[in-house]
Amino acid sequence: MASPGIVPALDKLEDGHFCFGFGFKRSAVQELGFERGEETLAHRKLVQELNKARREAGLSQQQVADRLGVPQSYVAKIELGERRIDVIEFLKFVEALDATWSEILG
């Protein structure tokens, strides 16, 4: 069961596909001091692509975490969209997948 303040969300992506996930109720977002638009469609798409690339590489979250030298929860939070990563972290994540940034971003 979802935590209070978190609700299921269904968004239509630019390519016409739908993305199901969870989002915050407006009141919960305001309590955290964020505006709803800060979780952008582009971020969700990036998260989807990282998750897809990891699975296609045949790697578990734990294996990626071991390659990065971080806890498995770090990878899980990125893939769930709970933790945003900067460019340097993105490049390290991609390297851990034995991929290139252009393969991930298409």
Sequence spans of domains, the chain: 1-39, 40-106
- At 31-49, the pLDDT tens digits run 545 555 555 777 888 889 9
Work out the number of other CB atoms within 10 angstroms of the CB of residue 22: 13
Class of domain 40-106 (CATH, top level) = mainly alpha
Ordered alpha helix ranges (H), the chain: 26-32, 41-56, 61-68, 72-79, 87-96, 101-105
Please give the torsion angle defined by the CA atoms of residues 84, 20, 48 and 40, in that order, rounded to the nearest 10 degrees: -40
- At 38-97, the pLDDT tens digits run 557 778 888 899 999 999 999 999 999 999 999 999 999 999 988 888 889 999 999 999
**pLDDT above 50 for 6:** no
User: Which pLDDT score, from 0 to 100, does residue 44 have?
Assistant: 83
Q: Which residues pair with 7 in a beta bridge?
A: 23
Mean pLDDT value of segment 15-37: 50
**pLDDT above 90 for 14:** no
Which residues neighbour 48 within 8 Å (Cβ) at sequence distance 6 or greater?
Answer: 19
Q: For the full predicted model, state whether its pTM sits above 0.85.
A: no
Buried b (16+ CB within 10 A) or exposed e, 59-81: bebebbbebbebeeebbeebbeb
Side chain identity, residue 87? V
Terminal-residue alpha carbon distance, the chain: 35
